[in-house]
């Protein structure tokens, strides 16, 4: 095994495809540190339990992943158009609406995305751009996010904050409400609490927090609008992006139905949940001649 290899775990029936990101010598042998290719999960495993995934199979997985994301983006954009024909954003090319002809414009919510994984963050920023959402990404380890978040909020002045990275339940866990049984949930909880101490209004600043198998209840109790993972399942790396899109492009006059937010995600109800939240989209009039 080498860093960069694509593998699957035999003891888990090869259910998830990982990339080897580190090798560590231990008393029991060489342990591989693994990162999910599309799921926000970190794991470790002895070399003996791993099986290499062929290059062709890895390419096939990438192709399926790309198709799924493309389909999700198309679904989101079509839903956006059908929900409110008055929305105006760069992806609209046919200005048939009377208000558009009259020179109206719209402004979706702005996102601050704090992530502990550079690969996932860069992929998310690409999708934000495809969805015409202004997003500012910062790479910060889970344990350090609390110390940086308020200053970043002051500088970026976002409408929506995403706090994410990696997480997971420790083996043998029986008490799913004890934060000590999670790899990083306690850090997400602390960061959300720090944000709410500074910015307590749930509608003024919307928060999504969590990663794979995170302690959903504790993160919501700390002050998040949306969190993972109600059923302690693995979430897709783009789930936070699709939550943000629904909030960013729903009028501030409306409470976004929770079910509609979750329908936009890839993981669905088992992986994402939250509270009633007001949208962040604002219409303006007239449009400047110089913009």
98 & 37 share domain: no
Q: Tell me what pLDDT residue 171 has.
A: 81
Q: Is residue 291 part of a domain?
A: no
From CA 161, how far away is CA 144, in angstroms rounded?
16
- C-beta pairs of 168-172 under 8 Å, 24+ apart in sequence: 168/41, 168/42, 168/43, 168/212, 168/213, 169/213, 169/232
224 & 88 share domain: yes
Q: Is residue 173 part of a domain?
A: yes
Q: What is the pLDDT of residues 65-92, one digit of tens each?
A: 677 777 778 877 777 776 555 444 444 4
Q: Say how many domains are in the chain.
A: 2
103 & 200 share domain: yes
Q: Is residue 63 part of a domain?
A: no
CATH number for the domain that contains residue 196: 3.40.50.2300
Arithmetic mean of pLDDT, 94-100: 45
- Tell whether the model's pLDDT for residue 192 goes beyond 50: yes
Of 77-81, 110-114, 137-141, 209-213, least confident by mean pLDDT is: 77-81
Q: Tell me what pLDDT residue 79 has.
A: 73
35 & 133 share domain: no
45 & 93 share domain: no
143 & 30 share domain: no
Bridge pairing between strands 160-163 and 206-209: parallel
Most confident of 59-68, 80-89, 157-166: 157-166
130 & 255 share domain: yes
DSSP conformational letter for 176 = T
More confident residue, 41 or 99: 41
From CA 117, how far away is CA 91, in angstroms rounded?
29
34 & 143 share domain: no
Most confident of 85-89, 99-103, 259-263: 259-263
Arithmetic mean of pLDDT, 41-51: 85
CA-nearest of 49, 51, 46, 40 to 23 is: 46
Contact in structure between 280 and 251 (CB atoms under 8 Å):
no
Q: Tell me what pLDDT residue 88 has.
A: 44
- Tell whether the model's pLDDT for residue 202 goes beyond 80: yes
Q: Tell me what pLDDT residue 147 has.
A: 97
The whole domain housing 116 covers: 80-284
């Amino acid at each position: 095994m080498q860093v960069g290899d694509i593998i699957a775990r035999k003891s888990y029936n090869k259910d998830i495809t990982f990339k080897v990101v580190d090798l560590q010598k231990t008393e029991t042998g060489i342990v591989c540190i693994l990162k999910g290719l599309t799921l926000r999960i970190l794991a470790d495993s002895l070399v003996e339990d791993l099986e290499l995934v062929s290059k062709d199979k890895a390419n096939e997985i990438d192709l399926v992943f790309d198709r799924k994301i493309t389909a999700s983006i198309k679904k989101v954009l079509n839903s956006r158009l059908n929900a409110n024909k008055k929305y105006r954003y760069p992806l609209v090319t046919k200005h048939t609406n009377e208000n558009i002809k009259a020179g109206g414009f719209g402004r979706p919510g702005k996102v601050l995305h704090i992530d502990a994984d550079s690969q996932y963050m860069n992929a998310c920023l690409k999708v934000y751009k495809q969805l015409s959402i202004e997003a500012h990404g910062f790479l910060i380890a889970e344990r350090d996010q609390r110390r940086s978040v308020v200053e970043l909020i002051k500088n970026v002045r976002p409408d929506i904050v995403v706090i994410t990275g990696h997480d997971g339940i420790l083996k043998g866990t029986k008490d799913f409400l004890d934060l000590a049984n999670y790899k990083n949930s306690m850090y997400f909880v602390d960061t959300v609490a720090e944000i709410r101490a500074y910015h307590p209004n749930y509608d003024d600043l919307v928060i999504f927090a969590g990663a794979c198998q995170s302690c959903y209840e504790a993160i919501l109790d700390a002050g998040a609008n949306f969190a993972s993972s109600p059923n302690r399942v693995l979430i897709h790396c783009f789930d936070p992006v699709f939550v943000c899109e629904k909030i960013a492009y729903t009028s501030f006059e409306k409470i976004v139905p929770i079910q509609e937010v979750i329908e936009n995600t890839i993981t669905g109800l088992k992986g994402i949940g939250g509270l009633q939240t007001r949208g962040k989209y604002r219409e303006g009039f007239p449009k400047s001649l110089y913009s």
